[in-house]
Amino acid sequence: MEANKYSIFLEVAKQQSLSRAAENMGYTQSGVSHTLKRLEKEMGLKLFDRNRNGAFLTNAGQELLPYISQLVQCRENLSQAVQSLHHLSRGSLTIGTYSSISRQWLPHIIRQFRMDHPSIRIDFKEGGNEDILRWIRQREVDLGFLSGHIDGDMEWIPLKKDPLLAVLPSDYPHKEQVFALDKFNGQTFIISALGTDVDVHGTLEQYHVAPDVQYSSKDDYTIVSMVAGHLGISILPKLVLESYEAPIRTLPLAPYADRELGIALVDRTMASPATLKFIEYAKDYVLALAD
């Protein structure tokens, strides 16, 4: 009880009653009374006037009230910080992700996170949309980085819009600065495998575009290599193409199309402290990309 003497002071001040304060805090009335007397003796000040109507702050008590309130709040903040650090001093985190995100974003996010929390083990699994959603539902991963095609059984944290681009061989004859979607009609096309990517398939369906699909691949970089080898043309997200050096040409689509990248997890209220903290690092990193 001695450790909570300031909290007891605040509760008595709030309730204006020793008995109600004692009941709310799970102490005896005599225990609360003794604690306040020790606090008054310690400070050399009378803090409460007690009578049969209750306990009321003296002028001195009123003067000290904001300082004691601040002290109790600081103690609570300290307690929460200590508990958080205990949780983050050990443990593990498993992430499901697209290969493009594991190449472009995760090295930076993980490096910063590990600088601050070096004892947290981080693993990640690469896959397509269906893979990552299955891993999240089966609790094989703590969170997933993917595009925003999720069901209502998950929480979604949007991070960034990622434009879809036409991917052409470098010598492809096209003078315009955009590539009209209807120009894909009948063209030899290389597409991401169904279940790996939903955004390109969805865009083609939305605009009733019917290319001549000759090849499909689960690997984005295989698609890029095939386009560079003049085996067809394609559509891929900008993030996939940012670090890939190949004899290709990329153009914005007309009409514009994109995918929304973000983080999915089953239930944020049940997530570990490490998971929640990693999400904050990810949000900070992606926000900095826009600066």
* Helices and strands, counts by H and E, the chain: 11, 12
Q: What residues contact residue 232 under an 8 Å CB cut-off, 6+ apart?
A: 187, 188, 189, 190, 214, 215, 226
Q: Are residues 130 and 69 in the same domain?
A: no
Query: Same domain for 100 and 48?
Result: no
Q: Which amino acid is at 91?
A: G
pLDDT of residue 149: 79
Examine the pLDDT at 81 and tell me if it is beyond 80. Answer: no
**92 versus 259: which is more confidently predicted?**
259
Question: Do 63 and 18 fall into the same domain?
Answer: yes
Domain identity same for 130 and 107? yes
266 in the same domain as 151: yes
* pLDDT at res. 244: 76
Whether the predicted pLDDT of 80 surpasses 60: no
**What domain range includes position 209?**
162-258
Give yes or no: residues 111 and 251 share one domain: no
Find the CATH number of the domain harbouring 245: 3.40.190.290
* One domain for residues 222 and 198: yes
Domain co-membership, 27 together with 76: yes
86-90, 209-213, 235-239, 248-252: least confident range: 86-90
Same domain, 60 and 111: no
Q: Dump pLDDT digits (tens) for 241-256.
A: 987 778 899 999 999 9
Domains of the chain: total: 3
Question: Which 3 state secondary structure label does DSSP give 257?
Answer: coil
**Which of 38, 60, 87 represents a domain boundary (last residue)?**
87
CATH of the domain at 116: 3.40.190.10
Q: For the whole prediction, is pTM greater than 0.85?
A: no
pLDDT digits (tens, 9 = 90+) for 186-226: 999 999 988 788 899 999 999 999 999 999 998 888 999 99
CATH number, domain containing residue 79? 1.10.10.10
At 69, the pLDDT band (50, 70, 90 cuts) reads confident
Question: Own/partner pairs for 203-208, CB < 8 Å, 24+ apart?
Answer: 203/164, 203/235, 203/253, 203/257, 204/235, 206/257, 207/181, 207/182, 207/255
